[in-house]
Chain A
Amino acid sequence: GQNIDQPTEMTATEGAIVQINCTYQTSGFNGLFWYQQHAGEAPTFLSYNVLDGLEEKGRFSSFLSRSKGYSYLLLKELQMKDSASYLCAVKGNTGKLIFGQGTTLQVKP
Chain B
Amino acid sequence: EAGVAQSPRYKIIEKRQSVAFWCNPISGHATLYWYQQILGQGPKLLIQFQNNGVVDDSQLPKDRFSAERLKGVDSTLKIQPAKLEDSAVYLCASSLMRGDKNIQYFGAGTRLSVL
Chain A interface (Cβ < 8 Å from any Cβ of B): 4, 30-31, 33, 35, 40-45, 48, 50, 87, 89, 91, 94-97, 99-102
Q: How many A-B residue pairs have CB under 8 A?
A: 47
Q: Are A95 and B106 in contact (CB under 8 A)?
A: no
B residues within 8 A CB of A102?
40-42
Chain B interface (Cβ < 8 Å from any Cβ of A): 3-4, 40-45, 48, 56, 91, 100-109, 111
Q: Can you sample 22 A-B contacts with CB below 8 Å?
A: A4-B42, A41-B108, A42-B91, A42-B106, A42-B107, A42-B108, A43-B106, A44-B106, A45-B104, A45-B105, A48-B101, A87-B42, A87-B43, A89-B42, A94-B56, A95-B102, A97-B104, A99-B43, A99-B44, A101-B40, A101-B41, A102-B41
A residues within 8 A CB of B105?
45
Which of B45, B56, B91, B102 is the one whose CB lies under 8 Å from A43? B91
Q: Are A48 and B4 in contact (CB under 8 A)?
A: no
Q: Are A48 and B108 in contact (CB under 8 A)?
A: no
Q: Are B45 and A96 in contact (CB under 8 A)?
A: yes
Least Cβ distance of A103 to chain B in Å?
A: 10
Q: Are B56 and A48 in contact (CB under 8 A)?
A: no
- The distance in angstroms between the C-alpha atoms of A43 and B3, with both chains bound, is 12
Q: Are A101 and B42 in contact (CB under 8 A)?
A: yes
Q: Are B42 and A99 in contact (CB under 8 A)?
A: yes
Q: Are A31 and B100 in contact (CB under 8 A)?
A: yes
- The distance in angstroms between the C-alpha atoms of A91 and B108, with both chains bound, is 22
Closest to A4 in B: B42
B residues within 8 A CB of A91?
102
- The distance in angstroms between the C-alpha atoms of A87 and B37, with both chains bound, is 12
Q: Are B4 and A42 in contact (CB under 8 A)?
A: yes
Closest to A41 in B: B108
Known interface pairs A42-B3, A89-B42, A101-B40; 10 further A-B residue pairs with C-beta atoms within 8 A, sorted by A's residue number:
A41-B108, A42-B106, A42-B108, A43-B43, A43-B91, A45-B103, A50-B100, A87-B43, A95-B102, A102-B41
